[in-house]
Amino acid sequence: MKIKQLSFQNSTWNPISETPAFDASHAQLVLAFGERKCLEDIRPYEYLRDMFPTADIVINSTSGEIYQNSVHEGTIIVTAIEFDKTTVRTTNVDIENHFQSAEAGEKVAQALLADDLVAIFIISDGGRVNGSELIAGLIEHTDNKIPISGGLAGDEARFEKTLVGLNENPQEGKIVGIGLYGNSLNLGHGTMGGWDVFGPEREVTESEYNVLYKIGDKAALDLYKDYLGKYADELPGAALLFPLSMRATADSEPVVRTILSIDEAKKSMTFAGELPKGALVRFMKANFDRLIDASASAAQYSLSLFDTPPELAILVSCVGRKLVLGSRTEEEVEAAREIFGPLPVMTGFYSYGEISPLNPNARCGLHNQTMTITTLSEK
């Protein structure tokens, strides 16, 4: 595997790093993560197509860009990959609303399935999709046998629109699936949150997709405010400090759900992911050191199947973590680097949702407020 990285910063394209003997004309896959308004202004596809003539080029908007040990804003970070033995195939699906999410997952799976498929990486619109249903469709039609990871595109903290594109400049309402094929790929995953839970676990008694109306016999927002205490006066901003832990069923592993907005009139809360009726939820609170330590744990999990350091690490973290950590955001990227050591090329972005198994042997799921890492190398 050979890799080249470049960035668009301060109105110019700049090289970052390049593996010896990398050949741009042989690169099979290009990942371009960029701030939404920058992507709209620059429209980078033609530039990248000239540089990488035969590659599949995937572009998406972000809530922050990651490369090497740093977090950036208002940039485009490009990672071009020349695999030695692995084959790449891609597909894209249009989506108009979240009701089409499961069908979109089915279409991606059907387009990529083959006997030698070893992994799927998903880059999805972050505004129109129900990530849980998208993943459910993928899992059902791959018989839960193919590792799936990726993320939902972001838009800083604006939540206006997200953009994704495959071999074109990115647009709203796109989902891209990247299939990796062959028996030479080593692949690892890790996902961790690092939030502290508090209070009893309670049942969701009324909800609609990602809008939560009642927990137990009480309006969701009223109960939430009771637990927030003095922080209730700082809503909705304070909600980033207090996400929910959710188990879809009593047998499920917990996932984190970020609060996007509240409705005082309806006493409801809207989340960046589905909260089905009957789910079990607990309140969570931020612990900065534990959030950063969680990034190191995610990196460690992603290495569990590797005998030697990976060649590439793709980090997808949540916009909520970035807003909570503030000036300490880079520390979670640095924590991952400390685990990996100097060898792997690191890239990634801050997202509206993270896609990964909780650990190498777990079922894939949609996460919020986590650091999710996919590691790759070729044998």
Catalogue the long-range contacts made by 129-132 (C-beta closer than 8 Å, 24 or more residues apart).
129/95, 129/98, 129/101, 129/104, 129/175, 130/98, 130/99, 130/101, 130/102, 130/209, 130/210, 130/274, 131/101, 131/273, 131/274, 131/353, 131/355, 131/366, 132/101, 132/273, 132/274, 132/365, 132/366
pLDDT band, very low/low/confident/very high, at 271 (cuts 50, 70, 90): confident
From the CB of residue 11, how many other CB atoms can be counted at a distance below 10 Å?
7
Residue 128 is predicted with a pLDDT of 87
Residue 361 is predicted with a pLDDT of 61
Q: At 324, which amino acid appears?
A: V
349's tokens: 């972005």
201's tokens: 């676990």
Q: Which residues contact 199 (CB under 8 A, 6 or more apart)?
A: 227, 282, 283
Residue 235 is predicted with a pLDDT of 82
Backbone angles phi, psi at 315, to 5 degrees: -100, 130
Residue 160 to residue 127: CA distance in whole angstroms: 8
Size (the chain), residues: 379
335's tokens: 């924590």
Residue 362 is predicted with a pLDDT of 62
Residue 359 is predicted with a pLDDT of 58
Residue 352 is predicted with a pLDDT of 92
Q: What is the pLDDT of residues 158-188, one digit of tens each?
A: 888 999 999 999 999 999 999 999 999 999 9
Q: What is the pLDDT of residues 330-354, one digit of tens each?
A: 999 999 999 999 999 999 999 999 9
Q: Which residues contact 357 (CB under 8 A, 6 or more apart)?
A: 147, 148, 149, 189, 191, 363, 364, 365
Residue 124 to residue 127: CA distance in whole angstroms: 9
Domain boundaries, the chain: 2-192+290-378, 196-284
Residue 101 to residue 357: CA distance in whole angstroms: 19
Residue 289 is predicted with a pLDDT of 93
pLDDT surpasses 70 at 51:
yes
Backbone angles phi, psi at 112, to 5 degrees: -100, -20
Residue 52 CA, chain-centre distance (Å), reads 25
- Tell whether pTM > 0.85: yes
Summarize the chain as % helix, strand, coil (round to 5): 25, 40, 30
Q: What is the pLDDT of residues 24-50, one digit of tens each?
A: 999 999 999 999 999 999 999 999 999
Alpha-helical runs (H) found in 169-261: 220-228
Residue 271 to residue 346: CA distance in whole angstroms: 29
pLDDT surpasses 60 at 241:
yes
Work out the percent of the chain whose per-residue pLDDT is above 70: 98
pLDDT surpasses 70 at 360:
no
Please list, residue by residue across 27-39, b when 16 or more beta carbons sit within 10 angstroms of its beta carbon and e when fewer do.
bbbbbbbbbbebb
pLDDT surpasses 80 at 293:
yes
Residue 86 to residue 372: CA distance in whole angstroms: 23
Are 45 and 59 spatial neighbours (Cβ–Cβ below 8 Å)?
yes
Distances in whole angstroms, Cα of residue 177 to Cα of each of 41, 81, 104, 123, 339:
25, 16, 10, 7, 29
Residue 356 to residue 190: CA distance in whole angstroms: 7
Are 176 and 91 spatial neighbours (Cβ–Cβ below 8 Å)?
yes
Residue 216 is predicted with a pLDDT of 94
Average pLDDT in the 358-368 region?
71
46's tokens: 């033609």
Average pLDDT in the 196-208 region?
93
Q: At 60, which amino acid appears?
A: N
Residue 358 is predicted with a pLDDT of 66
Burial, 247: exposed, middle or buried (Cβ in 10 Å; 0-12, 13-18, 19+)?
Answer: middle
Average pLDDT in the 110-117 region?
96
- Peptide bond between residue 20 and the one before it cis (omega within 30 degrees of 0): no
Q: What is the DSSP string of 42-65?
A: H-THHHHHHHSTTSEEEEEEESSE
| Strand, coil or helix: 186 | strand
